[in-house]
Structure 1
């Protein structure tokens, strides 16, 4: 059976992609490789239990022997590389894991894939693709009047996380230009949607609002991000994998620039309508401004015209429609939320927001 190999397929974006991919009856099988760190969750893939097209393997992309074995055994026609440490706050507290996974892990995976690809028959080698999923944070910070990030914007990462992702992007580019590996890279803006670990802004605020806890907003709340619904991102990755030009990068954005405080206000207003507080006041009353994190980039914005012009992709969701779907999912899936909010998660929240 034809298959693709997905790394990090039990994480937030990876799990959404695998679920979206296998929702089609004619889809290639998926070999799903995930180390299952704190952010990887097998429960996110429960809908695929019993599906013979989904093979889950717990393994580390930094384990060369494991990667060689999987690639030799399944001979995927493509590798979609999500696996990464991805939270800026965690990278500030512990950058070593980000170097190990995002840089060394990507290097190890590239070397294993290169060896497998070079051994393929000519036709299979020509059809093979390595799709590297990256972030807009590699481009650094914008002022309020700067043009959005384009594919040729110079890299200027400002956090251990974004620096490690920038390094992985450079490795992928080099393996194409030096060895001919057929790669495509995507750089996406802030994702949100179902199955996101509640350390990121939107699921964090939903969880804390429902628990009656404070809603911590960094600094003055005016940091700007472009918001991309995860289902739209999955559609973009599918499109790039099918038709993206080898060696190219494609920015994937939602055309939804919002300040952090505007996002939190919109979330509170939606919860007010869907699940009012017992005292009748708005969830906005729970908002608290907290000390800004070190090196907090002021603004990210994505120019996603290239992927629309070349491949015809454009996001289907507005921020408002995507947020409604996201809140509804979290309200309907509280057992999943409770399961991931373990003692380790509570310890992390105490460390991050103690001040």
Structure 2
């Protein structure tokens, strides 16, 4: 299969690109190379004969038409998106432009390509989204997001992703475009851009800086190792039912405070301080506006229909992640000078 991956130089997108090449697929990586993208993320496959790179903006319809015509993909995996909630609070316009209008342009370009090819039933437009579109859950562990949970986005980021999800469903119902949708829980792992919680904690700990935790640290997330997610995404594009959505979760719920304490304990073992614990650096800071209390995914549908379930526990995944950051300092050092990295964002509301 030849797959057009949008956002393939980003965190999750690059994991998909690497895994797809390893599985023998051809990949066209379309990325605008904005602040969170890094071609080093795909350096391991850049010379593979099945890999091609196109620098383009998903909002640029002419560029998209050229890329579809030049590469004739069998499927699209649409990951390109603005994804940092704090940045969406400070600058929501970029999120609407990229996540809503960019998805619209991708759908139209894909539809034109699909029609021109004779509407092949085998074509797929796989839209990758987030569990944040469902809003916030109560503390009750029996309550989880399912594919039928009503949408209730509460940040500019999640609202923009909800909008893009609705567009994808509409293009399937109205035009017959063969689509698959997935909504995932919080990802983590190698190549995670250093503005998100886990890399912030690792890198601040190593630098002797405060480890910031929003509010009282009780917010709960379901953590999904990025390579497990990549496997699930490729399974969905290969075998998912047209018009169906699949929730992808790590089955690893942890509060932010629990997560940070686990990271500190791992660092205490792998890179011990001269005195004390990294946990001594934990600092509670003013909460994010509209901070959702809990996310948790019920992944029963993808498990029962496609046979996928996560293979990595959060403890195993955090060990791997910490080890990767300790071994790849040149990668993250080069990104720390990028706009906004290391600053507290999302406090302008």
Using structure 2 for the length normalisation, give the TM-score.
Answer: 0.97
User: Which of 334, 339, 344 is matched with 2:339 structurally?
Assistant: 344
**Equivalent residue for 2:58, pick from 40, 61, 76:** 61
Change (3 A) 1:353 1:332: farther
Taking the aligned partners of 2:121 and 2:80, their CA distance within structure 1 comes to 25
Q: CA deviation digits over 1:40-82, x for unaligned, max 9?
A: 1011111123222111111000000000000011110000000
**Equivalent in the alignment of 1:311:** 306
Matches of 1:117 and 1:352 in 2, distance apart? Answer: 40
Determine the structure 1 residue equivalent to 2:225: 229
Which of 67, 71, 75 is residue 70 of structure 1 equivalent to? Answer: 67
The gaps in structure 2 that reach 5 residues or longer are none
Whole-angstrom distance in 2 between the partners of 1:344 and 1:80: 27
How much has 1:5 moved relative to structure 2? 0.4
Alpha-carbon shift at residue 21 of structure 1 (Å):
1.2
Cα distance, 1:28 vs structure 2: 2.2
**Measured at CA, do residues 327 and 185 of structure 1 come closer, stay the same or move farther in structure 2, by a change above 3 Å?**
same
CA distance in 2, matches of 1:266, 1:336: 24
**Alignment partner for residue 206 of structure 1, among 202, 205, 209?**
202
Deviation at 1:343, TM superposition (A): 4.9
Moved more, 8-17 or 43-52: 43-52
SS in 1 for 2:104: helix
Counterparts of 2:48 and 2:338 in 1: how far apart (Å)?
Answer: 32
Look up the SS of the partner of 1:300 in the other structure: coil
1:155-174 counterparts in 2 under 5 A? 155-174=151-170
How much has 1:350 moved relative to structure 2? 5.1
CA distance in structure 2 between the partners assigned to 1:312 and 1:198 by the alignment: 33
Does residue 18 of the first structure (1) align with residue 17 of the second (2)?
yes
Q: Give the distance between the partners of 1:217 and 1:153, measured in 2 at CA.
A: 29
Task: Sort the Cα spacing of 1:318 and 1:351 in 2 relative to 1 into closer, same or farther, 3 A.
Answer: closer
Partner of residue 132, structure 1: 127
Whether 1:184 aligns to 2:180 is: yes
Deviation digits for residues 227-284 of structure 1 (CA, Å, limit 9, x no counterpart): 00001101101111111100000000010110000000000000000000122x1000
1:142 to 137, 143, 163: 137
The residue aligned with 1:79 is 76
- Per the alignment, residue 270 of structure 1 pairs with 266
Kindly indicate whether residue 44 of structure 2 is the aligned counterpart of residue 50 of structure 1: no
Question: 1:121: how far off?
Answer: 3.5
SS of corresponding position for 2:180: strand
Deviations 1:292-322 (A, max 9, x none): 0100000000000010011100000011111
1:286 aligned to 2:281? yes
Which residue number corresponds to residue 104 of structure 2? Answer: 107
Correspondence 1:335 to 2:330: yes
Q: What is the alpha-carbon distance in structure 2 between the residues aligned to residue 108 and residue 343 of structure 1?
A: 28
Under a length normalisation based on structure 1, what TM-score does the superposition of the two structures give? 0.95
Q: Distance in 2 between matches of 1:300 and 1:163?
A: 16
- RMSD (Å), alpha carbons: 1.3
Q: Is the 8 A contact 2:289 2:347 kept in 1?
A: no
Matches of 1:50 and 1:260, distance apart in 2: 39
Unaligned 5+ segments in structure 1 are none
1:1-25 per-position Cα deviation (integer Å, ceiling 9, x unaligned): x52100000000000110111123x
Number of matched pairs = 347
